[in-house]
Structure 1
Amino acid sequence: MVVTNDQALAPKPHYPILDGLRGVAAIIVVTFHLTEPLGTGHLDILVNHGYLAVDFFFLLSGFVIGYAYDERWPKMSVGNFSKRRIERLQPMVVLGMTLGALGFYFTDSTIWPLIHTVPVWKLLLVLLIGYTILPVPLSLDIRGWEEMHPLNSVGWSLFFEYIANLLYALWIRKFSNTALTILVGLSAIALAHLAISHGDVSGGWTLNVEQVRIGLTRTMYPFFAGLLLCRVAKPTRIKNAFLWCSLLVALVLYMPRIGGAEQLWLNGLYESVCIILVFPLIVYLGASGVLSTQRENKLCTFLGEISYPLYMVHYPLVYFYVAWISNHKGVTLEQAWPYALLILLGAIVLAYAALKWYDEPVRHWLRKKSSKTAPVGA
């Protein structure tokens, strides 16, 4: 008898508030990238801690992976788990890279003076590598920002997401709660050391030893803390949790830089506390929350649906925005905000269109194709 993936691994009830919070964080990421080019450096960006949304995503991902798969391993192989994760993540990776490639030669800007000297074969090579989410070496950094994914900057976090998923499937899923707690504790120490010694955790998008170390450090604690939280936490019932958790997420990510250039460690301490303590608290409260109205449920559903597409398609639009700012020196926030708002709204519309007209149909086709060959216990 052949059992389909959907039959063998029927979806468990999910946490709608966590979906909504992922969408809130994704929107804040876009605002971070839109205010980033208006700053003079990393100390005075308006949305100064927006990059911490990535660490929040990792923690949410670990929690959801543990909830969805921890109890299914007797009926699931590592190969089937990997296939399901690829089906979920890879279609939007392909679309994001494609959009980045299509816009590459149209971002005429003084900030990328050599962009039009890149031969088509090199662009296509970077695109094909990008489709696999594997990082490109600095010799293929065709944009010049020292990014491992120069066609869609945010791809670096998906690279580390895949690493965390593989570590979970091959090894860490077998850990007892005690062993997992030790791993999470050691990872927390490494994260705090990184943040306090550097002044922040920003980094991870370049293919060199230092940046890969930062990326792994940023991934290990939140992802596996999310897994541990899923295993040990006993959610209660909390009213208005979505509102309060959304406000907490916004407060953390919109907090101005702390300590300045003279006391970088203070900002690192702030980020350590946020990632190690505040983010798990937010996820716990979100998992414990109950939705009281149909409107709130629809909002969380919408935000959850667009969160991943928004994260994956917004940066190709941001490239045009950054090019416009670089070509108009001295642009102020007052001058830029109408264009920034247009990019934000356009990214949301694009994300929703990508979800409905591309991501969902492609994933449905992949699941249908996969189910025809999935044996019992796969």
Structure 2
Amino acid sequence: MQNRLLPLLYLIISSQAYSEDSITSRSVESSSTANSSLTVPKDDTQTTSTPSESDQQANSDTDSTEQGLTFEPTPPPPEEPPSTTEQHDTPTSSSNNEDIVTTPSENKDNAASDDGIDEELIAELLNEDDSSADDEKKDSDTKDSGKTAVKSKTAQTKSTESSVGSATWLPEIEFGYRSEQGNEDERSLNARLALSHISGRLRNSGSIKIYMKNEDGKEDERDQTYQLQSDYKISPRFYIYGNFKGIDSKYSSYFHDYTVSSGLGYQLTNTETLKIETELGPGYRYQEPNTDEIDDDDPIFPDNVAEPIIRASLTANWKPLDNTSFKFDGTMVSGSSNTRFNTEISIINYITEDIALKISQNIEHLSRVPNNLEKTDTILTINILYAPK
């Protein structure tokens, strides 16, 4: 019985050892085949579908020209975009795109494998799956980059359209009051309402100033000053303007003092920090003095005036700090009867985002005055300014 079992046991052990050796040899052959396969790296160059440098330069020039034709402050130049061309070298690994080149001996070994499985066919199928997946990934990356470029270009176009075609309203309300009681009963009020509207190349502005003075319970002075102006840009620096200024008074020297002018304006600079504009043009002036109210200390002549004039102006707005700004407004109106200079220097300090303290000094200078009077008058005002943004 033992003689019969021993050969059978030996046969079972030898068959088991043979199967383990065949499995081990197959794993070794597959690993050696993977290691000895020749991989050819591919130099994939991806270029995102963004506009060329010439197109970008043309777009930037167009945007700057369109932006320059508006009265909005000129934004700072944009930063240079990073390069959109990147080169990626595909690493030599079996997970990426690679062409596996096998030698004839390896083909014979693979073909002569005892398990009947064509490993070369499996490797080619796996390689095709990997390459198709990588191609899909590249296509998706290219599409995403193209979409990103289109979105950025669309955003730039929208921002340009919004900056060129949008309308901006800038209202201002200014108020100052003085009351004196005791030996003298005197009250004075000065107020100003201004509104500016900017839409593309067109800018409209208007303001009204009111000054009232009561003494001993009776109205002693009352002046209203109106000013309207329209500007239209014809180039990034030049614009055409039309201006009207009128003064109506019941108790002071003039019943009416009207000035109309039109001409050419020039912007020396137009940024968020500094803005300087100058204007020059012909016009017409009409003055009707109040002969019943003219006193010896009034620096006017009792004659009606209707004459052509030359008007020149200079305005500057400097904002060195976020909460502090300085303004200068100077105007010259010259005619045969007289030449008048009006200047206003203001310091504005914002207490909150919309409320500010405004200190102004107004100076008026006349070239001709009667009775050897002073040619220059100065007025200092301290007001509260409300300018919602």
Q: Identify the TM-score tier after normalising by the shorter chain.
A: under 0.3
TM-score (structure 2 length as normaliser)? 0.22
Higher Rg of the two aligned structures = 2
TM-score (structure 1 length as normaliser)? 0.23
Question: Which one has more relative contact order, counting CA pairs under 8 Å at least 6 apart?
Answer: 1
